[in-house]
Amino acid sequence: MQARFVCQFLLIFWVVFSSPSLSASSPSASRSPVPSSTPSQLNKISLNLVDSRSFPKIKLYCSLWDRSNQVVNRITPATLNLIENNQLIAEKTVKTFDSLNEGIAVVFAVDMSASIQDLGLVRQAIKQFVNTSLTAKDKMGLIYFGDTVKVASFGTNQYFTPDKNPFFQQLDQMQVSGQYTKLYDALYRAVELFDKDSSLPLWRTILLYSD
């Protein structure tokens, strides 16, 4: 089955696709290459991000899966049909996300309320994800919450770091904080963090760890 995007107003497309390695439901996923799929094997597309800053050139960041639910990391432009006003768009380029050298920005929002029984397991899961799924091009932020919401700092007004060592130090210092879970406040603060640093990569995500 061919993957198809239907867009009503975009003129020139630059299609960028990547492994969905940041899915909270699969924290052990990585960006390692997998075999390419033919058009007849494509089954699902997830549109992750639209970048129109260089209009009329548009970037579509998306993830592709085949019929075996395996991530597709290699594909040809001819495999994707882009349609605007019922007309096929011929001018398009397909690149892997890793080839763009852009990186991603991730905020880890971690529940530290009293209901969390095993902090060691939480820390282990986050460290495993960082070690297996993130690269030196990526930046990490950390928020932990219970009765209050706290934001880890990696320097003066610095809430993101590409270095996993200070990130792990902050992670190891987290302690249980109260009986309540200020989940929505934490997510709001996580979104705010992205606005505090204009140097962050365009692709941004929040990973929530909670019970």
Higher pLDDT, 35 or 172: 172
Q: Classify burial at 20, counting beta carbons within 10 Å of its beta carbon; exposed 0-12, middle 13-18, buried 19 or more.
A: middle
The model's pLDDT over 160-192, given as tens digits with 9 standing for 90+, comes to 999 999 999 999 988 877 778 888 999 999 999
Query: pTM for this structure?
Result: 0.73
Residue 41's pLDDT band, with cuts at 50, 70 and 90, is low
Indicate whether 30 pLDDT > 60.
no
Q: What DSSP assignment string belongs to 153-199?
A: -SSTT---BS-HHHHHHHHHH-----S---HHHHHHHHHHHHHT-TT
Sign of the alpha-carbon dihedral angle for 86, 91, 96, 98: negative
> How far apart are the C-alpha atoms of 118 and 54, rounded to whole Å?
47
Ranges 22-31, 100-109, 122-131, 134-143: which has the least confidence: 22-31
Q: How many CB atoms lie within 10 A of CB 111?
A: 20
Q: How far is CA 131 from CA 121, 127, 158, in A?
A: 15, 6, 22
Q: Phi-psi category of 18—alpha, beta or left, where left has phi over 0 and alpha has psi -120 to 50?
A: beta
Helix, strand, coil % over all residues of the chain, rounded to 5:
20, 30, 45
